[in-house]
Amino acid sequence: GIPLSDTLCLSLCLLSQVKENLRRYILEVDDPMTFLLDLLDHYSSTKGKANSLAALIAGEFQKWIRDHPECRQSGLRLRKLQSRVFPLITEGNLLDILISMYDLEEADRSFLLGNVTHLHQMGKYKEAAVLSIKLNLQPDLDLEQMCAPLLFLDRFNLLESYVSGYPELQCRLLQMLDRWSDSNFNPRKFSKEFRGLPPVKPDKLNLKTLSKLAFRLLETYNLDPALCTNMINQRHLGTLKYLMYKRFVEVGFIVVHYSETLAIW
């Protein structure tokens, strides 16, 4: 086979050639920002290596646009380009590059919220949450609708990122977890409101799981324990049950066992 060092050199040469070809193409087109989206449309339906190539293409265009700011679009033309970006960045690999290139952070807020809501309705809950975080849209979105699917999908780290930097959302999330810890709450039934979620097991998001997440939020964000009184009471009750067990069950077992031993003797 080909030695590893030779394979690496060949890959670097090919990569350099691809970049050089891209730079040449960019110089030949009238509208690089539109041309990039045309190229990415070609790769958007594929995965794996094609995604890596799409990221490489976008990166080269970003460098070129940065050095040639006169080629940036604005006004209505930019708005039309922005509307083409969302289907391309839902997988996340091109997110930062395209948000920067097409000024999505400066786009009309209702336009951005509409696209995030559409992703959510399509069952792309992780992508909707990531875009919300990147574009700072969380305060204008329904917390429970956005966070519930993340809980069902065990995306706890993403859930914490979603409320990071927003004390009010942190408090509301903690209150939501407290409501869910009630014995009358049926997560399986509630999950059916969300499109595309896998079947939820009866013991999914039990008190132990919810409490662990809630107390982590309490500690991380220094929140008021009064926001989750149900969980606090459940923890105290659990402690009391344990002490009762230690006091009466284990001690009682020792006494009975000792009495039986004396009877045998």
Write the pLDDT tens digit of every residue in 205-259: 888 899 999 999 999 999 999 998 898 887 655 555 555 656 566 555 555 554 5
Question: Which tens digits make up the pLDDT trace of 120-138?
Answer: 999 999 989 999 999 999 9
Predicted confidence at residue 262, as pLDDT, reads: 40
Give every residue of the chain whose pLDDT is below 70, as ranges: 1-14, 44-51, 89-93, 235-265
CA angle centred on 110, ends 97 and 121, rounded to 5°:
80
Nearest Cα neighbor of 135 from 153, 109, 155 is 109
The span from the first CA to the last CA of the chain, in angstroms, equals 81
Q: Which pLDDT does position 1 carry in this prediction?
A: 52
* Amino acid letter, 86: F
Nearest by Cα to 116 from 131, 134, 106, 126: 131
Tokens of 262: 């004396």
The pair of three-digit structure tokens given for residue 245, joined into one six-digit string = 């067990």
pLDDT of residue 57: 86
What's the confidence (pLDDT) of residue 176?
A: 96
Distance (Å, whole) CA 162 – CA 193: 21
pLDDT given at position 2: 47
Token readout for 130 is 């990531």
Q: How far apart are CA 152 and CA 197, in angstroms?
A: 8
pLDDT at 238: 53
Nearest in space to 139 (alpha carbons), one of 167, 111, 178: 167
Residue 213 pLDDT: 93
DSSP state of 141: S
- In terms of C-beta distances under 8 Å and separation of at least 24 residues, what long-range contacts does 125-128 make, across chains too? 125/149, 125/150, 125/153, 125/194, 126/150, 126/153, 126/155, 126/158, 127/90, 127/91, 127/92
Please indicate, yes or no, whether the overall pTM of this predicted structure exceeds 0.85.
Answer: no
CB environment 215-234: b (16+ within 10 A), e (fewer):
bebbeebebeeebbebbbeb
